[in-house]
Amino acid sequence: MARILPDGWRELAVTGAAQREIETLAILADGLPDDYTVYHAVHWTGIDGRYAIYGEIDFAVVSLAGDLLLIEQKSGFLDETADGLVKQYPGKSKSIPVQISRMLSQLRGKLAGRGDIPSVHTDALLYCPDYTVRNPETAGLVPERIVDASRRDQLCRIIGRLLPPGEKTLATAKVHAFLRNLIQLDTDVSALMGHARKVVTRVSGGLAHWARRLEFEPFRLRINGTAGSGKTQLALAEFRATLDAGKRPLYVCFNRPLADHFSTIAPAGGLACTYHQLCDQRLRDAGEMPDFSLPNAFERLQKRAAELPVSAAFLFDTLIVDEGQDISEPWRDFIFRHARPEARMLWLEDPLQNLYGRPPTPLPGWVTLRAQSNYRSPRPIVELLRRLLLGGLEIEAASPIAADEIEFLDYADTQGMFARVKEAIRLCYSAGFRKHDVAIVSYHGREQSQLLTLDRLGQTSLRHFTGEYDLFGQPVYTPGDVLVESVYRFKGQAAPAVILTEIDFDVLDDKAARKLFVGATRSAMKLVLILHQKSAARLLERLG
C-alpha cells in the first residue's frame, strides 16, 4: 500500500471536486505498492522578477528511486478543441496541455534551483475519470499519458509503467524533503469548536517555514499577516523550538478560546495564556486570590498585577504575542516585562481583525514582515472579501481545499433568522459535515444576539458561553451539539463549516466589513451567510 501525505485524508468529509480527489487517493493508496509515496494538494508560490508565479499539483507520486510523476486530475466534462483539451470554468476556460506543461516546467525549475538534489526523472499524466477522450491524437498530450474514463481502472498499472520503483538513491530523501517543504506539514492550531483536534494542515511556504529563518539581533519580529496566513502555526513552532533548546516560552493572546486550545496542544514546559490569565497567575503566585465576583473585577486584576514585581518564575526566553491588534500599549508594556533582556520576541497581528477600534500598538525598532496568503479559506471566500473590502486589499487565496460557492440566505425578522439558521444547518449536514464540524457564528456580541441566548434551535442543541466564569476563572458553557459563538469570541478559531448569521447593519462601513471579514475567514471549507434583507441589499450594492 502506498503512503499518502499529508495523512488524515480518509477522515476528510468534503464534497464536489475535493471529494473526487479523495476517491483518487483511495485508489492510489490501495493500488500502488509501498515502494511509492503520494503527496496531494501540493501548492507553491514563487517570485520571478516582479511577477508572482502560482502552481498547483493535484498529486505527486514519488518512486523508491526519488523519481516524480505529477498527476493532474480533471473531473467532469472536457472540451476537445483544435488547440487540445480544455476544461470550462465559470466565465473562463483553461487549456489542459498548457496547464500541465507549465506545472511540470515550474517543478523542474524549482528542483534545478535547489542545486543539492541529484538529477531525477520527472513526468506527468492527465487523469480524467469521468470523460473519454475521443481524439487522443489531437488532445495536445501524448496518448500514453492520458488516463480517461475508459482506462481509469488501469490508473495504478499505468503509473507503475511510467514510474518504475527503482532502487533507493541519494536523491530519494532530498526529493521527499523538497516536497515536504512545499506543503510544510505541521499541526493545525485553529481551535475547532473547542475540541483539541490535531489535523494536518498544508501551508505552502507558510510563516512556520520561512519566518523562523530570519536572523537579526535583538530578535524583535512583528508579523502583519492576514487571516489564515499561519501566524499561530508560527507561534507553535517558536514555542516548541524554545523548549527544544532547553528554554522557556511565553505565549500571550487576547482571545480566551484560542489561548485554551493553544494550551492543550503546546508541549509542557512553557506558559500559554491570555493577558488576563497572566495577570491572574501573577497574583496567585504572590499569594493573592482574585475575586471575580467583585464589580470591575478585571480592572482590579490588571491594576494589582501591574504593581507586583516580576519574579524569576515569570521571566521567559521567548515571548510571543498573538492577536496583537487587540493588545493596547499598557497591556504591551505589562507583557514585555516578562521577557528576559536577550529573549526572542514576536508580535503577531492582523489589522483587518481589529474589531475593537484600537489604534496600532507602536513597536519602535522592530522588523516588520507582511504575509498576505490565506491558506485556510477557500478561494470563493477570499474572492468575496477582495470585492467587499475597499482600499486595495492584498490577500492571496492559497488554500488547497476545493469548496462550493458561498451560500446567501436572507431574513426579515428574528423568527425568519431562526428558520434560516435551521436551513443552513440542514445544508451543512446534507453536504456531509457532522455536528462537531459546524460552528454558528453571530455577527453580534453576546448582549445583542438573539441566538446566543438559546439552548436549542429546532432539533439542534446549542453549546454557547454563558457569560459566567467558575471559581478558577474558567468560562462556563451550556451542554449542546453545535457551538454558537459571537464573532468577537470566535476570532482565532476555525471550523470546516461556518454559518455566519445575524448579519444586520444599516451601513456597510469599515467596522461592518471587518466583522464580515473575521466571520467569513473562520471557514475552512463551507460558508453560509445569513443576512437581514436590508443588509443583503447593501452587500449586493457593494459587490455590484
Tell me how far apart the 2 most distant CA atoms of the chain are, in Å. Answer: 82
Q: What is the pLDDT along the chain (544 residues), one digit of tens a residue?
A: 888 877 656 645 444 445 778 888 889 999 999 899 998 865 443 333 322 233 467 889 999 999 999 999 998 899 999 888 998 876 678 899 988 888 888 888 878 877 777 788 999 999 999 999 999 888 888 999 999 999 999 999 999 999 999 888 888 888 888 887 655 444 333 333 333 233 334 443 457 767 888 899 999 999 999 888 888 889 988 999 999 999 999 999 988 888 887 887 788 899 999 999 999 999 999 999 988 888 888 899 999 999 999 999 999 999 999 999 999 999 999 999 999 999 999 999 998 898 888 899 999 999 999 988 887 788 888 888 888 875 556 787 776 555 668 999 999 999 999 999 999 999 988 877 888 889 999 999 888 999 998 999 999 999 988 877 676 656 778 889 999 999 998 987 888 899 999 999 999 998 999 999 999 999 988 899 999 999 999 998 888 7
Asked if the domains at 185-374 and 379-543 fall in one CATH topology, the answer is yes
Torsion sign (Cα): 283, 288, 292, 297: negative
Whole-number pLDDT of residue 247? 97
CA distances from residue 382 to 22, 208, 278, 408 in whole angstroms, order as listed:
23, 21, 35, 16
Fold of 185-374: Rossmann fold (3.40.50)
Q: Omega before 362 cis (within 30°)? A: no
CB atoms within 10 A of CB 325: 21
For residues 72 and 70, what is the distance between their CA atoms, to the nearest angstrom?
Answer: 7
For residues 147 and 159, what is the distance between their CA atoms, to the nearest angstrom?
Answer: 10
Second CATH level (architecture) for the domain 3-183: 3-Layer(aba) Sandwich (3.40)
For residues 16 and 130, what is the distance between their CA atoms, to the nearest angstrom?
Answer: 13
Q: In the beta sheet, which residues pair with residue 37?
A: 3, 62
CA geometry: angle at 461 spanning 458 and 466, to 5°? 120
In this prediction the pTM is 0.63
- Which grid cell is 85? 483539451
Task: Specify the amino acid at residue 152.
Answer: R
Task: Specify the amino acid at residue 324.
Answer: G
- Which grid cell is 369? 514582515
> Cell numbers 498547483 label which residue?
56
* Domain ranges, ordered by start, for the chain: 3-183, 185-374, 379-543
For residues 163 and 116, what is the distance between their CA atoms, to the nearest angstrom?
Answer: 22
Whole-number pLDDT of residue 7? 62
Give per-residue burial for 378-396: e unless 16+ CB within 10 Å, then b. Answer: bbbbbebbeebbeeebebb
Yes or no: is domain 379-543 CATH 3.40.50.300?
yes
Residue 62 near residue 51 (C-beta atoms within 8 A):
no
List strand residue ranges (DSSP E) for 90-229, in order.
Answer: 92-95, 122-127, 146-147, 185-187, 191-192, 200-202, 220-225
Residue 272 near residue 254 (C-beta atoms within 8 A):
no
Q: Which residues contact 76 (CB under 8 A, 6 or more apart)?
A: 87, 130, 131
**How far does Cα 92 stand from its chain's mean position?**
27
- Which grid cell is 294? 467583585
Q: Which of 14, 105, 94, 89 is nearest to 57 (CA)?
A: 105
> Cell numbers 521567559 label which residue?
316
Torsion sign (Cα): 486, 487, 488, 491: positive
CB atoms within 10 A of CB 240: 18
3-state secondary structure 309-335: CCCHHHCEEEEEECCHHHCCHHHHHHH
CA geometry: angle at 389 spanning 384 and 392, to 5°? 105
Whole-number pLDDT of residue 44? 40
454-485 confidence digits (pLDDT tens): 999 999 999 988 877 676 656 778 889 999 99
**Coil/strand/helix, residue 110:** helix
List strand residue ranges (DSSP E) for 390-450, in order.
Answer: 396-397, 407-411, 438-442
- Which grid cell is 240? 516548541
**Coil/strand/helix, residue 405:** coil
Phi, psi of 375 (to 5 degrees): -95, -5
